[in-house]
Amino acid sequence: MPDAQPHSDASPADRPPEIAAFDVVVVGAGFGGLYMLHRLRGLGLSARVFEAADGVGGTWYWNRYPGARCDVESMQYSYSFSEELQQEWHWPERFSAQPDILRYANHVADRFDLRRDIRFETRVTSVAWDEAAERWTVETDRGDRITARFCIMATGCLSAARMPDIPGLDSFEGDTYHTGHWPHEGVDLAGRRVAVIGTGSSAIQAIPVIAEQAGHVTVFQRTPNFSIPSRNKPMDAEYENLWKSDYRARRLKARTMRNGILYHLNDKGAMEVSEEDRLREYEARWEGGGIAFMAAYNNLALDAEANRTAADFVREKIRSIVRDPAKAEALMPRDYPIGTKRICVDTDYFETFNRDNVSLVDLRKTPIEAIAPKGVRTTDGTVHEADAIVFATGFDAMTGALLKAGIRGRGGLALADKWEEGPRSYLGLMVAGFPNLFTITGPGSPSVLSNMMVSIEQHVDWIADCLAYLGATGVRTIEATQEAEDAWVAHGMEVANRTLYPRAASWYMGANIPGKPRVFMPYIGGVGVYREKCDEIAAKGYEGFRLSPPPATAARAEAAE
Ligand code: NAP
């Protein structure tokens, strides 16, 4: 029986605080939270979803900066759980722009009537385990106090936007923006002098679009990035029909792939072929566009020499595109293997540096000293004047949003304390000491190294199946054992250390946040392998989890009733 089902209207801004009991609380109404709610309804469980924004969509709600676009192809960056939905929905472009993805999230929320269980504009401030009641108490900044048997964190991997701690920020006389919190009404940058700080995926998408409007753009680059052209184009009807003709089979195949994306992964190593063949392959992938470039050979993430051939190819492309040799040199990444910082995908990024109204400041030569009233001051004393500063400075990735929720488990243990030396979890799904709390695409799962839609659906389905099992067997609590968690963390590190990834100071490693522990956070063993592992664990009666009371006892008790 569901615990309770109080009022069901979408929340007005001035709604009274809600004091109630539910089976499940879900935090976040992005793609993870939306599908989770849908599955919980199917199980007959009562659920309350809290969402800080005033609408659904998560990352696609917040990241409205000019040029924001997904770099997984539209036909694959969408839900697969409803055949009708995937057949009926039409994506206008090969790679979807943010407004189209947000439109899709809203469509899903309406189509499956999800909004009535979501409380918008409500931020979760505390999530505490009540040992005696075996329930979570969830509190919000609107005074809500909800208890629930289960709590599911669907807070996303890249949702805690990060402003760097640069002195003088308050003194700036112009406007400041963060790509991850772009104003909903848009920003008119026409004719203005715009400083862009950062050259990650967000900046690389935004800069070419901003440069078309702005009077002048000054790009502040600390670390150059590898970027592959997207070759975005309107959706080809034939291509769309091809996908839709056997969508299900394609989705199933994608789930077995290393990163949950169906594309041609060459089964050869880069050094197994001649240089001529290699260049031909890279050229074809560069022309094809997108992140499939990194699948040109099967060992680009593993073998430094193989990796260097791909990196050299992209560096040569930068040299051939950017006319000013000094700018071209500054834009070439040299101190980390290609792909070990998230590969970027762009539309005319390097070409943009040929424009007269775009200049580049190499922060490795002249770091930012302070923000001055009129612009950005570098250590050579120059004030780069600007009317607006765009911070494209990224996120406290993977752990930031989870830690902000104020989660406390058994004995009042704060998740922040447990993760002081880096996130530890079992499968990126549960954390020892935090019973009945699940993390959708948490650290320790493939998450950001994969097609997020595939990983979200896999986690939501696994959690839903788990809850159904617990319900059917009378189990009240499920918790990762310490041993299983330790073994999973060790395995994750071992797999990561077999790759080149730990060689880069990336946000995967927590390296973008001063003081954050350097731990490789996502699971890099591959989406297909990971899914098998999760399924196997469930099939063995949730191996590595402590179920209480044990299902056998629960079943016996049920039979005796
Ligand atoms: P990001 O990759 O973390 O990039 C942040 C940028 O800001 C980096 O260039 C960083 O330099 C720079 N930076 C940070 N602090 C700075 C400081 N104090 N001074 C100067 N520069 C500073 O963040 P992002 O671009 O928002 O992307 C984050 C992730 O979101 C991506 O990796 C991707 O997974 C996802 N994303 C995906 C898409 C897509 O699907 N196409 C688009 C956007 C974002 P350093 O490198 O030196 O730290």
Give phi and psi for 195, each to the nearest 5.
-100, 130
Q: Residue 393 C-alpha to ligand 1 middle, in angstroms?
A: 5
Dihedral class, residue 455 (left if φ above 0, else alpha if ψ from -120 to 50, else beta): alpha
Contacts of 79 (CB under 8 A, 6+ apart): 31, 35, 85, 86, 108, 453, 457
Let me know the angle formed at the C-alpha of 88 by 86 and 94, rounded to the nearest 5 degrees.
65
Question: What is the C-alpha separation between 259 and 124, in angstroms, rounded?
Answer: 31
Element (H, E) at 50: strand 47-50
Beta carbons of 427 and 444 less than 8 angstroms apart: yes
- Closest atom, ligand 1, to C-alpha of 222: 47
- Structure confidence by residue, pLDDT tens digits, 404-433: 999 999 999 999 999 999 999 999 999 999
Pocket probe mutation, ligand 1, options 78, 101, 158, 201, max atoms within 8 Å of Cβ: 201
| Amino acid symbol at 34 | L
Q: Sort 37 into a burial class: Cβ within 10 Å, 0-12 / 13-18 / 19+.
A: buried
Residues 44, 49, 54, 59: what is their CA dihedral angle, to the nearest 10 degrees?
Answer: -100
- Closest atom, ligand 1, to C-alpha of 345: 41
261 lines ligand 1 (CB under 6 A): no
Contacts of 164 (CB under 8 A, 6+ apart): 197, 391, 393
Q: Sort 222 into a burial class: Cβ within 10 Å, 0-12 / 13-18 / 19+.
A: middle
Q: Residue with the nearest Cα to atom 23 of ligand 1?
A: 394
Give phi and psi for 258, each to the nearest 5.
-55, -45
In which residue are the tokens 């470039």 written? 293
394 lines ligand 1 (CB under 6 A): yes
The confidence score (pLDDT) of residue 454 equals 98
The confidence score (pLDDT) of residue 552 equals 73
Pocket probe mutation, ligand 1, options 393, 448, 507, max atoms within 8 Å of Cβ: 393
192 lines ligand 1 (CB under 6 A): no
447 lines ligand 1 (CB under 6 A): no
The confidence score (pLDDT) of residue 90 equals 98
Question: What is the C-alpha separation between 466 and 29, in angstroms, rounded?
Answer: 21
At residue 346, the 3 state secondary structure works out as: strand
Question: What is the C-alpha separation between 471 and 513, in angstroms, rounded?
Answer: 41
Q: Sort 406 into a burial class: Cβ within 10 Å, 0-12 / 13-18 / 19+.
A: middle
Q: Residue 189 C-alpha to ligand 1 middle, in angstroms?
A: 21
What string of pLDDT tens digits covers the 561 residues of the chain? 333 333 334 445 678 999 999 999 999 999 999 999 999 999 999 999 999 999 999 999 999 999 999 999 999 999 999 999 999 999 999 999 999 999 999 999 999 999 999 999 999 999 999 999 999 999 999 999 999 999 999 999 999 999 999 999 999 999 999 999 999 999 999 999 999 999 999 999 999 999 999 999 999 999 999 999 999 999 999 999 999 999 999 999 999 999 999 999 999 999 999 999 999 999 999 999 999 999 999 999 999 999 999 999 999 999 999 999 999 999 999 999 999 999 999 999 999 999 999 999 999 999 999 999 999 999 999 999 999 999 999 999 999 999 999 999 999 999 999 999 999 999 999 999 999 999 999 999 999 999 999 999 999 999 999 999 999 999 999 999 999 999 999 999 999 999 999 999 999 999 999 999 999 999 999 999 999 999 999 999 999 999 999 997 666 656 665
Element (H, E) at 467: helix 452-473
158 lines ligand 1 (CB under 6 A): yes
Q: Residue with the nearest Cα to atom 24 of ligand 1?
A: 394
Q: Residue 333 C-alpha to ligand 1 middle, in angstroms?
A: 14
Let me know the angle formed at the C-alpha of 67 by 61 and 70, rounded to the nearest 5 degrees.
65
Q: Residue with the nearest Cα to atom 43 of ligand 1?
A: 202
- What's the predicted TM-score (pTM) here? 0.96
Question: What is the C-alpha separation between 455 and 442, in angstroms, rounded?
Answer: 10
80 lines ligand 1 (CB under 6 A): no
